[in-house]
Each structure stands twice: as structure tokens, then as C-alpha cells.
Amino acid sequence: MLNGTEISAALTSLAPFPIDIIGMNCGTGPRHMTESIRYLCENAPLPVSVLPNAGLPSVVEGKMHYDETPESFTAQLVHFASDFGVNYRRWLLRDYAAHLKLAVEAMQRLTPKQRDAKLIPSAVVNLYSATLRTGHAHS
């Protein structure tokens, strides 16, 4: 994730809370989300959501530009659903109607892979969480 949090640590630290769905937002494009989305689908016993934009933005000729084409963007979303089991897909593509049109058409024909994930808590996060709860580290 952009702030450096490991996805396993994030999932483990959120496990005690009454969460209905877990996922990733638009901080990156789908290519940079792949390993984290795979991890969530393999380990989160919740529905998994993905809300990518069309890549990391850059400024080209004074305008925002995203490197993902409609085809590459859609292929990544299909991969997330069919190979990993992402249940919910949404998009942040204000100015990219072609990306949105192709992605929506592909998703309408797709049934996400069935998942049976079991969360195995991260030991590092459990120690950190125990420290937070008690106010001191355990040796």
C-alpha cells in the first residue's frame, strides 16, 4: 500500500472489527494492486472489493494521463474476479468512458471464482496489537 503497510498486517489488525467487506481503493492502478488483492482473496473470510483507477496518474501536456488502456484495465479486473475471487468491482474513471464501458461489459459476463479463505493472523501484528492493548511489550 502507498503508506507502506503490509497487506497481511492490515488484514490481521482489522480482523477483530465487525467488517462486512474488505478491499483496496484507487491509490494505484490494478497492476500495482495484484499481489495485495491476491493475498486478500486467499486470506480474508469476507467479500473482497477493488476500486482501481486506470493506473498511477501523470501529467501529460497539462492534463491527467493514465497508462492503462481500456483493454489492459479490463483484463486486470477480469483476472481479479476469475482467478482470485474478487466479489465487488467499482471504478474511478471520470474521464475514461471507454475504460468503463469495456470493464462493465466484461464484468456482466463473469462469475467470480468461489473462495473459502481462512484468516491466519500475522504474528507481528498480534504482538503489536497486544502492546497497544496492554501498554507494554511482552517478552
pLDDT tens track for 47-89: 898 888 888 778 889 987 888 888 988 898 889 988 999 887 6
User: Per the CATH hierarchy, to which homologous superfamily does domain 7-134 belong?
Assistant: Homocysteine-binding-like domain (3.20.20.330)
Is the pTM higher than 0.85? The answer reads: no
Indicate the burial class of 68 (C-beta count within 10 angstroms; 0-12, 13-18, 19 or more).
Answer: buried
Lowest mean pLDDT among 27-36, 76-85, 93-102, 130-139: 130-139
pLDDT, position 40: 92
Residue 7's SS3 state is: helix
What band does 129 get if pLDDT is binned at 50, 70 and 90?
very low
pLDDT, position 3: 67
Q: Check if the beta carbon of residue 37 is closer than 8 Å to that of residue 46.
A: no
Taking residues 103-111, what's their average pLDDT?
Answer: 74
Q: What is the DSSP string of 95-128?
A: T-HHHHHHHHHHHHT--PPP--------HHHHHH
pLDDT surpassing 90 at residue 39: yes
